[in-house]
Structure formats: structure tokens, C-alpha cells
Amino acid sequence: MTTLWVWTHRRSTQAVCRLSILTISDLKKTDSAEHRFTFQSNSLNWGTDLHGTTLTVTALQVQVIRTSVSQNTTYAELKCHSSCTPAASDGYIWFRNGQRVDHGKYTYKGSIYPADNISCAFSHHEEHRAPEVYAPVSPSVSAEPSGDIFEGNHVTLKCSSKANPPANNTWYKKTKSSTLQPLSGDSRFSLRSIQSSDSGEYCCVARNQLGESHSIFLNVDVKYAPKRAEVSLSTTDVVEGISLSLTCRGDGNPAPFYTWYRDNQTMLQGQGGVYQFPSVRSEDSGTYHCKAENKYGPVNSTSVHINVEYSPRLPSVSVDPPGEVAVGSSVNLRCSSVANPAATYTWYKEDMTSPAADGHVFTIVDIRHEHAGNYYCQARNSRGHINSIPHLIVVSIWGVLSQ
């Protein structure tokens, strides 16, 4: 695009000869244009048809011709380019990190290290150097909006880097195996309706022909209310007296705290989510669930039933009818015990080695004198067994049975 610059000279009513000068300070390439002069007075405008003078401003530029990498070292061929026609014929000067390294040729060949800055200038014009070329400097990264990130929000990750030639930026996410998964070949990476699975560490890698540079890791921490909670038992074989733990595991960010319920009655709160029975008892049987909650919301777990098993308690024995019973009559002995699982019963007479009967009720019919003696029952389940206190059966010669 050509820009037309016009400067004017106004003539006053008095005849005065004046010199008009246009001075452009800090000349830039964008000042290239056609410049014209016009003379204006109160009644005259002269010079609008005159041809102007064209000013062409040239700037040196270091061009990267080719690069190669060997054993982590970058080798480059650079060219000191000028739009002047013809180009300067009195030679070139190359600079590496501000120090002269070569003279004469318009090309530079050699190794380029990450911290190197390369520039060139015409001989005898060192003050007018080309902009330095260099590998990318460590990129800066940020998330927008800043502050807490909530599930469902739209988040944009931004990467900016300094490099010449300009760098191409690529976003990566660190995986569980610490490898980098490429996400986007752009300076901006958008996470629309961000989810908890998007939490993690992200970095940006800036690359140009002279090298690459990695940003620091940007931690994306997505906040959300718990979505699930599960209750587990330390053992499914729950026997009275053992140590038992109930564990509630819920998600959520920040980590939830937990409330325990037994048969829908509040029991205990705790950050750890563990309810401990040092020595579980039969009365601890019941239905349990937990609630996982953080400041963004709660969720209830499914329920788990605890069934505490235990061996039979000391059986109780009753006699019907009580007191003495006549010979020839009958008597019922009943045995009962609290147990989980339910007990089975066996009756014994103390002077007999084999069981007298099985079952909850032992009925003796047609009582005779040889039925007299001590009887007891044994309650048994898979967790143990126990005998009742013996009960004495006495057959009266008067036909009465007593205990």
C-alpha cells in the first residue's frame, strides 16, 4: 500500500521566501510512501499536480533458510536479507548474543543453542541491526476465567510466547503415566462445559525453526458436588466380638465430609468416612448408609445391612405342668435360647450318653419311675453351643411328678 504524504507552505500577504523542510524522526519501514509539496496562500493553491518524491525505507531481516537437529543440537543456516536493490556491497556483520562472530558473508551457518540471539547488520552500520532471531522463551500460561473452576463452566487456557520467527504453540495434558497428550495446536485451548475428568496438569510447548520451549504446568482443578457414595464392610463374615469397619467412599471436589446413619438415625460425622466397631455386638445389627457432602451439595449412598452372628445364649428351660406328676401322666420340657443364626436343640439325661430327644419341646408320656433324673438341653448353631442348667425330674410314688 502506498501512502501519500503532503506538506504545504502558506504565503502571507508579504513577500517572504521561506524554506520548507519535512523531518521524519525514528524512521520506520512503514514510513515508505510518496511525499509531495504544495504551496498555499489566501488565494492560491499551487503544486497539487507536481510529482512527489518516493521514500523507500528498508529494514534488515534475518531469515531462517534451513535447520537440522543432531544429538539435541540445532544447526541452522541463516540469511541476512534486505529489500534494498541492489543490496549492500560492502559486506555484512553477524552478532551472537550481542558479540560479533562473523564478517563478510550474508549467510551464517552454525549451531544454535536455546539461549542464543542472532542478528546481522551491514558493515559500517552496526547501529542498524536486524531484529534478533531466537528460539522460543519459556511460554506463559493462564486460565480464563481465573479463580475457582466449577463443573459446567467454559474455561479457556491461554499460551503466549516470545520467539522470532514467531512460534507455534501446542497444548498438552499430562497423563497418569506422566506422558504428554497433545490437545490443540493453538495458543488458546477451550474446555466447554468442563467436567471433573478434565482436571489435571496442562502445559504449552512453543516451537519455531530454532527450537522449542515448555511452559510450567498449569493445574486445572474442577470443583463439583459429590455424585456418588458407596459403603463397604471390612468383612462380610460379621461375628460378635470382631473389629468391624464401615467405609464410605464418595467423590467431589473439595473432598466431602461424611455423616453416618443407622436405621435413618444420625450417628457420626467425620472427614475420613470410616465408622469403626472395635468389638461389634449383636445390638449393632441394623441398616446403615452414609451421606457425602461438600459445600456444593450432598449425595446419599445405598444402604448396607449388618447382621451380627453370635453363638446361643444360656438357654432357659420350662416344665409343663410344673410340680409333681403322677406315674402314668405326661410332661413337656421346653428349651429356648437367643442366637443368630437360630439355634437347634437337643435334650440329654445326665446318666445317658445318647440324646434323649431333639427339638425345642421334649415330651415325656406315660411317666415311669425310671424317667426320674436331671435333664438339660443343648442349644447349637454355626457359631457355637451351650448347655442349659439341669432340671431334676422326680417321679412321686403317689403318682406326682416334681421338679
For 189-203, how does the pLDDT look when each residue is reduced to its tens digit (9 = 90+)?
A: 999 999 999 999 999
Same domain, 160 and 202: yes
Residue 311 in domain = no
CA 153, 157, 159: angle at the middle one, nearest 5? 170
Model confidence at 105: pLDDT above 90: no
Reply yes or no: is the peptide bond before residue 341 cis, omega within 30 of 0: yes
Mean pLDDT of the chain: 86
The long-range contacts involving 170-173, CB below 8 angstroms and separated by at least 24 positions, are 170/204, 170/205, 170/207, 171/202, 171/203, 171/204, 172/202, 172/203, 172/204, 172/205, 173/200, 173/201, 173/202
**Which one of 306, 327, 359 terminates a domain?**
306
How many domains does the chain fold into?
5
**Which of 395, 384, 390 is closest to 317 using CA atoms?**
390
Separation in Å, CA 167 to CA 23, 170, 239, 381: 37, 10, 68, 79
Please check whether residue 164 is in contact with residue 131, taking contact to mean a CB–CB distance below 8 angstroms.
yes
Which three three-digit cell numbers place residue 6? 503532503
Instruction: Determine the distance from the C-alpha atom of residue 402 to the mean position of all C-alpha atoms in its chain, rounded to a whole number.
Output: 79
| Statement: residue 130 has pLDDT above 60 | yes
Domain endpoint, select from 179, 205, 223: 223
Regarding whether 295 and 275 lie in a shared domain, the answer is: yes
Angle at 85 between CA 84 and CA 91, to 5 degrees: 65
Does a structural domain hold residue 129?
A: no
Q: Which of 19-28, 63-72, 249-258 has the highest mean pLDDT?
A: 249-258
Question: Is position 206 within any domain?
Answer: yes
- Does 278 reside within a domain? yes
Q: Is the pLDDT of residue 55 over 70?
A: no
* 236 and 290 within one domain: yes
Q: Is pLDDT at 331 greater than 50 in this prediction?
A: yes
Tell me if residue 105 falls in helix, strand or coil: coil
In this prediction, what percent of the chain has a pLDDT beyond 70? 82
Residue 81's domain comprises 61-122
Residue 219 inside a domain? The answer is yes
Can you say whether residue 121 is alpha, beta or left, with left for phi > 0 and alpha for psi between -120 and 50 degrees?
A: beta
> Could you give the percent of the chain with pLDDT greater than 90?
64
Evaluate whether residue 132 is within a structural domain: no
At residue 2, the pLDDT reads 42
Ramachandran region, residue 356 (left: φ > 0; alpha: ψ -120 to 50; beta: rest): alpha
What whole-number distance in Å separates Cα of residue 173 and Cα of residue 123?
Answer: 48
Domain of 265, CATH number, reads 2.60.40.10
Identify whether 41 is part of a domain: yes
Whether residues 236 and 163 fall in one domain: no
Residues 329 and 364 in one domain: yes
Is 190 in the same domain as 234? no
CA–CA gap between residue 115 and residue 98 (Å, rounded): 12
- Domain stop point among 55, 76, 96: 55
Taking alpha carbons only, the member of 322, 240, 317, 321 closest to residue 285 is 240
Q: Is the pLDDT of residue 91 over 60?
A: yes
Closest CA to 47 of 75, 8, 85: 8
**Nearest-angstrom CA–CA distance, 398 and 393:** 15
Q: What is the pTM of this model?
A: 0.65
In this structure, which amino acid lies at residue 230?
A: E
Domain membership of residue 109 (yes or no) is yes
Residues 261 and 183 in one domain: no
